[in-house]
Amino acid sequence: MPGLVGNNLLSLLETRLDNVLYTSGLSLSRTHAKQLISHKKVLVNGSTNNINSYQLSLADVVSLKPGKHLKDLDIKANDKDFKSPSWLDLNRTKYSVKVIRLPQRDEIEKDFDENLIIEYYSR
């Protein structure tokens, strides 16, 4: 059962709005993603969203609000070599990303101790 809890929890964390912005390359860091969200520069399904922890669902489209700030934006998605995860569909020209499926455990970057996260959120 801990594996199932871990998979669900990791999928929930991975599909947070701030994390999807970072993972898709539409922000330079998670902190930058949070700043874009709090400054209302992010749209979810065409509507402004300023909640960092907003839980995205299948087929949700996240995009950066059009405007002059996009011209000077130096993000990973603009790099030709950047590849977004297979569970996200990145549209570089529209600065948008669509959640096409939930991430699998082996697709999640493992630069953290998974057990500590499960312990923390299981309280």
Could you tell me the CATH number of the domain that includes residue 34?
A: 3.10.290.10
29 located within any domain: yes
Could you write out the three-class secondary structure of the chain?
CHHHHHHHHHHHHHCEHHHHHHHCCCCCCHHHHHHHHHCCCEEECCEECCCCCCECCCCCEEEECCCHHHCCCCCHHHCCCCCCCCCEEEECCCCEEEECCCCCHHHCCCCCCHHHHHHHHCC
For the entire predicted model, the pTM comes to: 0.80
pLDDT value at residue 40: 94
Domain total in the chain: 1
74 located within any domain: yes
120 located within any domain: no
122 located within any domain: no
Q: What is the pLDDT of residues 71-119, one digit of tens each?
A: 677 788 778 888 889 999 999 889 999 999 988 776 666 666 767 767 7
Q: What is the pLDDT of residues 36-47, one digit of tens each?
A: 999 999 999 999
pLDDT value at residue 57: 94
pLDDT value at residue 1: 34
Structural domain of residue 20, as residue ranges?
2-109
